[in-house]
Amino acid sequence: MRTPITAAVLEEPGDKLQLVELLLDEPTDHEVVVRTDRVGLCHSDLHYLNGALSIATPAVLGHEAVGTVEHVGSAVTRLKPGDRVVATVTPSCGLCNSCLRGRPTQCVRVDQLRRRERPKLLTHDNREVEVLGGVGAFAEAFLAGEASLAKVSDDLPLSVACLLGCCITTGVGAVVHGAKVTAEDTVAVIGCGGVGIAAVQGARLAGARRIVAIDAVADKLELARRFGATDTVLATDPTSTADRVIEILPDGVTHAIEAVGRPQTAELAFTILAPTGTATILGLMPAGAKLSLSADALVYGDRIVQGAYMGANRFLSDVDMFTDHYRTGRLDLDAMVTAELPFTAINDGFAAMADPTTIRIVLDFRPEHP
């Protein structure tokens, strides 16, 4: 039997989301039904919303979520009804070569983990509705595989807990797991939105001796300083921006973290590297996007360009790590929540993301939320 739920549905890229009643399936053996408590609005969702990234429609977006377990499938062992959980779009099997090498975001069985015989969501006229990343959290409840959910402490504020599912996992994870920054390093973070601010905090946590925040919006640079940036550069054209970084650190930076999702900013990340430095690219780019890099700088300087999909996270253990850093005050998550809005104001939330002082808008699913 399917359960009726209200969800925000994307019918076509560029359209506003429509609140529609859909029918949610029962969990299969390894699945969990989660009642949504809070969801963060991520720029990845915005990219799907405006068509910069593609997804089959109609679709329910949303992936940065915290909620309460309502039902579990017969083979679920880690979770039970009443548990508070955070979702991820990077489930892992724990058994393939990638997982065993400590790279669960590259799990080769991820498609198998998400595969199911029946659609998760249907309209009342029996149309299948796609869900983003196997989650689809812009809904009163969602279905996710057990491997996509991490238990989180009940004393963690809900608006903070949801950030662990994407923003913090990606930004801090990229520094800790992807780039492996140490106290010896100098770090540049390009793009100071939610993920970029998380990367700044990650670099501070790792003890980086200099942290250069780069953005085209001055207000975002001021925010970055509050979260740990030691220096800031207002981005203009790529050449002038690179020159300004070199004025601050004449040898270049040992690590550059790109959190925008444009070829130009990825190329800038490489350009400002010191010899033997590493550029870690986080931003999702349209299919077919290509980078142009100096072969001489690459080869003679032993420079490295790498991806870190979703921060190369280790989700099930990272949640505990982030929680401890939050509790001890080393990770400031409260200040990253710019505003909480009711779920019904989801389109207003996406509009608010255009404000340069916005880090994260969080949707509150409580019926009594004003």
Residue 233, pLDDT above cutoff 90:
yes
Instruction: Find out if CATH 3.30.70.141 is the number for domain 175-308.
Output: no
Residue 340, pLDDT above cutoff 80:
yes
Domain ranges in the chain? 3-151+333-364, 175-308
* 111 vs 137: which has the higher pLDDT: 137
Neighbour count for residue 82 (Cβ, 10 Å): 9
Q: Which helix (H) or strand (E) segment is 151 a member of?
A: strand 149-151
d(CA 194, CA 266): 17
Q: Where are the alpha helices (DSSP H) in 51-166?
A: 97-100, 110-114, 158-161
Residue 268, pLDDT above cutoff 70:
yes
Residue 270's pLDDT is what? 98
What is the rounded average pLDDT for all residues in the chain?
96
pTM of the model: 0.94
Residue 244's pLDDT is what? 97
Residue 370, pLDDT above cutoff 60:
no
The stretch 219-243 carries a mean pLDDT of 96
Which of the four pLDDT bands, split at 50, 70 and 90, describes residue 286?
A: confident
pLDDT (tens digit per residue) in 121-166: 999 999 999 999 999 999 999 999 999 999 999 999 999 999 999 9
Q: Where are the alpha helices (DSSP H) in the chain?
A: 43-50, 97-100, 110-114, 158-161, 167-173, 194-206, 218-226, 238-248, 263-271, 295-300, 315-327, 346-352
Residue 368's pLDDT is what? 64
The stretch 257-273 carries a mean pLDDT of 97
* Category of 14 on φ-ψ map: left (φ > 0), alpha (ψ -120 to 50) or beta: left
As a whole-number percent, the residues of the chain with pLDDT over 90 amount to 94
Residue 366, pLDDT above cutoff 90:
no
Look at the domain 3-151+333-364 and name its fold. Answer: Quinone Oxidoreductase; Chain A, domain 1 (3.90.180)
Q: Taking CA 15 as the corner, what is the angle to CA 13 and CA 16, rounded to the nearest 5 degrees?
A: 130
Residue 369, pLDDT above cutoff 60:
no
pLDDT (tens digit per residue) in 289-309: 999 999 999 999 999 999 999
Residue 336, pLDDT above cutoff 60:
yes
pLDDT (tens digit per residue) in 71-110: 999 999 999 999 999 999 999 999 999 999 999 999 999 9
